[in-house]
């Protein structure tokens, strides 16, 4: 089975990629357990009553997600139904958290002194990661012009980029801060989500992104430009044009969204061209045969 075998459901990982993914997931699993234990004993890590704190529910979600990923990658006998059930549990829980925060009165949110819920923006990121994991688990073939797993990964990175703008500008809107100021995206949470994203990308060799980057340095330079347009340009715009401490969306958010659309559109176009070239090659081979 090879990475270009369209009939294979899961592409094999190289030894170095497997080790790196396992190391990242092991760090995440241990750190998530530490965060949960700290809440259990009443001493949350980096706790502040007036600033975002990492929720134990976020840590629990990430613990399940990395456990499922490593079980799927390392154990051939690991049942698909188990992956679907556990990933669905995390996905459903975070969708419910988004709805709960949307309908819960602000006074009620602030009344939970002993626990902190997962912020809406964090839950959106976790839901997108769960959808990516489900696509990896269920798809029959990656040879499609609609590269859903690439799209989900790129969209899942957006909450992290927005939260980075929030810290640079001290903007509570970008940090998904709710009526309870502890409900938001903390620096610790940002680090956890970034590690999960890195491991998700490394452990999925079927991403079209890897195929595109393997095309040479010109492709890598193009993608580096797109990445800078998506994440660096908004930071530059924010530092130059926005006022620190302000609330609400500014021009930097629209610059970031434009960068996301540009990157996704470019990858979709490249995937379409790749599929056309592949179809032409297969047709020419069949004609010669």
3-state class (DSSP) for residue 141: coil
Range list of H helices, 55-184: 56-74, 80-103, 106-109, 120-138, 148-169
Higher-confidence position of 15 and 285: 15
**Most distant pair of Cα atoms in the chain: their distance:** 73
Q: Rounded distance, CA 67 to CA 123, Å?
A: 18
Q: How confident is the model at residue 279 (pLDDT cuts 50, 70, 90)?
A: low
Residue 3 lies in a domain: no
Q: How confident is the model at residue 281 (pLDDT cuts 50, 70, 90)?
A: low
pLDDT digits (tens, 9 = 90+) for 28-83: 999 999 999 999 988 888 888 888 889 999 999 999 999 999 988 888 788 888 88
Looking at the 3D structure of the chain, how many domains does it have?
1
- Statement: the pTM of the whole predicted model exceeds 0.95: no
Nearest to 180 by CA among 112, 229, 275: 112
Residue 157 lies in a domain: yes
C-beta separation of 199 from 32 below 8 A: no
Range of the domain at 280: 15-288
The percentage of the chain sitting over the pLDDT mark of 90, rounded to a whole number, equals 19
Q: How confident is the model at residue 283 (pLDDT cuts 50, 70, 90)?
A: low
Nearest to 144 by CA among 274, 266, 261: 274
Higher-confidence position of 112 and 52: 52
């Amino acid at each position: 089975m090879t990475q270009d075998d369209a009939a294979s459901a899961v592409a094999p990982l190289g030894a170095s990629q497997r080790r790196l993914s396992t190391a990242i997931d092991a760090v995440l699993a241990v750190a998530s357990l530490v965060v949960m234990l700290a809440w259990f004993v009443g001493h949350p890590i980096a706790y502040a009553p007036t600033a975002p704190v990492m929720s134990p529910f976020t840590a629990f979600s990430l613990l399940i997600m990395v456990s499922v990923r490593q079980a799927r990658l390392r154990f051939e006998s690991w049942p698909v139904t188990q992956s679907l059930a556990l990933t669905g549990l995390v996905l459903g829980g975070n969708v419910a958290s988004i709805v709960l925060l949307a309908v819960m009165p602000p006074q009620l949110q602030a009344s939970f002194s002993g626990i902190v819920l997962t912020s809406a923006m964090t839950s959106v990121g976790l839901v997108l990661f769960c959808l990516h994991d489900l696509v990896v688990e269920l798809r029959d073939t990656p040879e499609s012009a609609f590269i859903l797993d690439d799209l989900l990964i790129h969209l899942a990175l957006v909450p992290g980029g927005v939260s980075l703008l929030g810290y640079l500008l001290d903007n509570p809107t970008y940090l998904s801060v709710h009526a309870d100021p502890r409900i938001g995206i903390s620096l610790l949470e940002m680090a956890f989500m970034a590690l999960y994203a890195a491991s998700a990308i490394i452990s999925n060799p079927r991403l079209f992104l890897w195929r595109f980057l393997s095309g040479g340095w010109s492709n890598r330079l193009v993608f580096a430009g797109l990445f800078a347009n998506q994440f660096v340009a908004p930071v530059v715009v924010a530092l130059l044009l926005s006022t620190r401490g302000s609330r609400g969306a500014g021009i930097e958010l629209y610059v970031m969204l434009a960068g996301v659309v540009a990157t996704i559109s470019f990858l979709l176009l490249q995937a379409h061209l790749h599929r056309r070239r592949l179809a032409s090659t297969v047709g020419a081979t069949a004609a010669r045969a």
